[in-house]
Amino acid sequence: MARERTITHGYRLAVGWEKIGRRPLTPENARDLRAHGYTMVIAKRGLFDSREISLNQVAPPN
């Protein structure tokens, strides 16, 4: 079973990348971040696996 991704940074068009509080990448957290103006996040799983993920896309079911 794969570990869930943890959000570490968020991207806003006006500001660029900024460090945000660590939280799991869930549909609820994605909606909350979109409501605050974020369009992308960097989400990590483990030590070396990090990805830029668009918050505008529908989250796949695990």
More confident residue, 7 or 3: 7
pTM for the model: 0.82
Structure tokens at 54: 């668009």
* Tens digits of residue pLDDT in 8-56: 999 999 999 999 999 999 989 999 999 999 999 999 998 899 999 999 8
d(CA 46, CA 27): 20
